[in-house]
A and B are shown apart, each in its own frame.
Chain A
Amino acid sequence: MLLDIQSLSHQYQRGKNATFAIKSLSLQVSSGILGLLGSNGAGKSSLMRILATITKPSQGTILWQGQDIIKSPQFLRNELGYLPQYFGVYDQLSGFEFLQYMAGMKGLSQSLTKQTIDDLLNKLNLTHAAHLPLKGYSGGMKQRIGIAQALLNDPKLLIIDEPTVGLDPQERANFRQLLTELSDERCIIFSTHIVADVESIADHIAIMQTGELIQYESTSALQAKVANKCWQLTTNFSELKQIQHDFIVSHSVRKGDKIELSIVADFSPDERAISRSPTLEDAYLYFTSTNRTQVDSMRAC
């Protein structure tokens, strides 16, 4: 086990009241990719900033290879790669110069820096723009520079927050490929809204809601949990609104004058519904949707 988070809490003071961004979160992470899912405000970014040693939590401990990183953040910083959701660059510098700067900040030796940067620029398809000022880069190119800086020191722990924002489909596929290659010897924590981004590459999935960890399983185990709760129903448009109100609809496809719905529910939503195989998105929606409690209680009545 590389990363051990024990009873982690973080709260903000709002007047006299304390608001929890993270509440008693415990998690053990070993090498491989951990997909961190959760809606806006679930506490993902707060957790990321704490793990990246930027923010100190209110309570709890975080051990990295047995060392408490809240007390000694430097121990982790030497082995950390971090790509925040929102970050900036020095736009007057070229991509190469900026990476040189970040390499310096990460303590890379001069001799190693050039080769590492060249390799990363090549891997991320940025060699052609290496010596152009960053102010001329597109959003996707800047995002790739962000990814490159995170990988500069060959990190043992890679924390990436919404990394695929701004990337086109081809770049997203390349990025997933790159992460898979990197995941063998290190621990990658990948936070995203886009479930499809982690579905194919994550070994484990953690789902957060209002600051709490509500699920932590391997991807297949999480999908198995909703195996008998996934339904497919072809229906008329007139019924759509009611179904959407009563059930969790994870997907819909228009088929002529009808519509094919993928539904997640504890019971068959309709006699016409047929069982189907679950996806990670089904599991995510099932565990995070407030609709579920509504439907459950409706059925119970």
Chain B
Amino acid sequence: MNSLRQCILADFKQRSRQQSFIVTLLSMSVLTLLFFPSLESQYQTLIINGYRGIYNSEWLGICLAMLNVLFLPIICFYLIKNGLELDRQSMTSELIASTPVSKLTYLFSKWCTNVLILLCIVLVMLLSIVLIQVYYGESYQVNFWALVWPQLVFVLPMLLAVASIAIMFESIKWLKGGVGNVVYFFLWTGSIISTIESVSGIGSLLSQIEAEVAERFPLQQGSTNIGINIVNETAKINTFIWQGIEPTTTHLLGTIPLLLLCLICFIFTVLFFDRFSKNSLPESQQPPWLMRMLNTHVINRLDALFVILAKPFSFTQFLRLELKLLLKGHSSYWVIGLLTLNIIQLFISQQLLVSIVLPISWLWCVLVLSQLGQLEKQANTVELITYSKKSAVLQSLASYSAGWVLLAMASSGSLVRFAFMAEWVLLIQVFIAISFSVSLAYFCGAFTGTKRMFEILYTSIWYIGLIQTALYLDFFGVNSEVSWQAGIPYYFTAISIGLLILTVRIKSTR
């Protein structure tokens, strides 16, 4: 028992004393405050048939639960998916592995710490909504039970499952890195719909409130929206007093699937966790024959060509080395995939190319691109690089250009095709998309020193902007005409330049 207690305590202290934890709590508090705007605000978040409940504890408690069920799984997963990684990277794992602590105790303690961290976040959000209720003063009667029970019934089981999924991802070799981050993102986007539609979950609750509003205000014909909705100045948002509901057995039974998921993921974690036995052993494997052939006949020859091309200037020499650094050590399947995507780019219809294949080609590079700006920190070569005679600005520009060349290579099929077809506007759009992607990668890497921020942020923007074609996040301009009319390419060009300047400044200062 002492093992478990000490393990949870130490892990929690280590993770909660980091500055990033305080920043996260503050951010979540701000997010909560923003989710509950005043009636006069330019946006509203939860509108049912043109109505929203007054900010009493009952309404706020339910709304917070909805916010949490929708967004905490994605935010929290990435926040806590470093419990085992922390021990691996700090090499505390070497000490832990030789102690008598069992796999079960160790993993259970990690899961408990994950849950504790998530509970801290929910607690901060709860405190924030108490503040919101008192601040807006639409009802001064704070009913703690009404605030807390939706979190216990709807949010807690989900947090327990997320804590378990995060630790499971860390235990499975191919899911613990960037691939896992991307896979989880798509799992999450898939789960939103099922969560909303779920009979016993938050979806049923929303239907219940909708039915109540329709019954009380049958004449009103407004829309129902969860999320951020820009308010039309002519449309007035009405309020009503919602008395709330009490948790029922159906609600409680609805938690069972999530609790089962939590248990199953934990069992998988115990099965897959290697107890750090493969931590620091050299695992040098000969590449497969296809990769050896590619190395000999394509990559080595391309590199020889790059050497000749890069020779005249120190910047180009540096660029070649940065590109080599970026591309080293990636799986042969990644290279083959990239080549295949480029071939597809040449032959597919333009509509499919612009809306699917080209975005996929960029997403294909996300795990390589995420190394930008933080490679030296991960490889612990910061001090070696700092005293080299190349200036920080030159280094930054070479790194940036290497990322740019990488994405240009990923889009080379399209670039050739657009040039041949004289699709100059599309060509410019590709350049803008590449510049934005690389600037974002470089900024995220330099700012956070980790790959994760870019992997999550880019995948989100990619999905919402390019796949769902949300105008303001569409950095490529899938709907070319609309995009140019709204001036989106100009915005993204400006953002790219701004991010690059900011990153160079960060790098130079350091």
> CB within 8 Å of B: which residues of A?
12-16, 46, 49, 52-56, 74, 77-78, 80, 82, 84, 86-93, 97-98, 100-110, 113, 146, 149, 159
Contact = CB atoms under 8 A, between A and B. Distances in A.
The CB with the most chain A CB atoms within 10 A, among B2, B89, B280, is that of: B2
A77 B102 CA distance: 10
Nearest to A48: B98
Contacts of B6: 100-101, 103-105
Nearest to A106: B99
From B6, B17, B284, B285, name the one whose CB has the most chain A CB atoms within 10 angstroms: B6
Given A90-B14, A92-B14, A110 B2 contact: yes
A186 to B, nearest CB: 16
Contacts of A110: 2
Interface in B428-483: none
A14 B10 contact: no
Given A92-B13, A98-B10, A100-B6, 14 more contacts: A52-B97, A52-B98, A53-B97, A56-B277, A84-B95, A86-B280, A89-B90, A90-B13, A91-B14, A92-B17, A97-B10, A104-B4, A104-B5, A105-B7
| Interface residue tally on B, bucketed by range | 35 or more
Given A77-B100, A91-B90, A101-B7, A107 B2 contact: yes
A102 B283 contact: no
Contacts of B100: 74, 77-78, 105-107
B96 A16 contact: no
B285 A87 contact: no
Contacts of B101: 105-107
B34 interface: no
B344 to A, nearest CB: 32
Contact of B91 (A14, A82, A86, A113): A86
B94 interface: yes
Contacts of B98: 52-54, 77, 80, 82, 84, 159
A54 B276 contact: yes
B388 interface: no
B3 A104 contact: yes
A146 B3 CA distance: 19
Contact of A54 (B2, B18, B94): B94
Contacts of B234: none
B141 interface: no
A54 B97 contact: yes
Contact of A97 (B13, B97, B275, B279): B13
Nearest to A54: B97
Interface of B: 2-7, 9-11, 13-15, 17-18, 89-101, 106, 275-277, 279-286
A229 to B, nearest CB: 36
Nearest to B3: A104
A93 to B, nearest CB: 6
Which of B5, B93, B99, B106 has its CB near the most chain A CB atoms (within 10 A)?
A: B99
Pick the most buried of B14, B93, B276: most chain A CB atoms within 10 A of its CB.
Answer: B14
A89 B275 CA distance: 17
A146 B96 CA distance: 12
Contacts of A101: 6-7, 9-10
A188 to B, nearest CB: 15
Contact of A89 (B4, B13, B92, B286): B92
A286 to B, nearest CB: 30
A109 B2 contact: yes
A90 B2 contact: no
A251 B391 CA distance: 44
Nearest to B17: A92
A60 to B, nearest CB: 17
B284 A105 contact: no
Nearest to B91: A88
Contacts of A113: 2
Given A14-B286, A101-B6, A107-B3, A93 B97 contact: no
The 3 tightest CB contacts between A and B, nearest first, are A104-B6, A15-B286, A88-B90
A12 B7 contact: no
Contacts of A80: 98
A9 to B, nearest CB: 15
B98 to A, nearest CB: 4
B99 A105 contact: yes
Given A90-B14, A92-B17, A55 B7 contact: no
Contact of B95 (A82, A93, A100, A107): A82
B277 to A, nearest CB: 6
A103 B101 CA distance: 10
Contacts of B89: 88
A108 B106 CA distance: 15
Nearest to B18: A92
A174 B14 CA distance: 31
A67 to B, nearest CB: 14
Contacts of B5: 104
A86 B91 CA distance: 7
A278 B18 CA distance: 54
Contacts of B96: 105
Contacts of A146: 95
A82 B106 CA distance: 18
Contacts of A12: 281-284
Contact of A77 (B18, B99, B106, B277): B99
Contacts of B4: 104
A76 B283 CA distance: 27
7 contacts: A74-B100, A90-B10, A92-B14, A101-B6, A101-B7, A102-B95, A104-B10
A14 B277 contact: no
Contacts of B275: 54
Contacts of A93: 10, 13-14, 17
Contacts of B10: 90, 93, 97-98, 100-101, 104
A256 B13 CA distance: 60
B281 A88 contact: no
A102 B92 CA distance: 10
Contacts of B282: 12
Contacts of B284: 12, 14
A78 B99 CA distance: 7
Nearest to A55: B277
Nearest to A16: B286
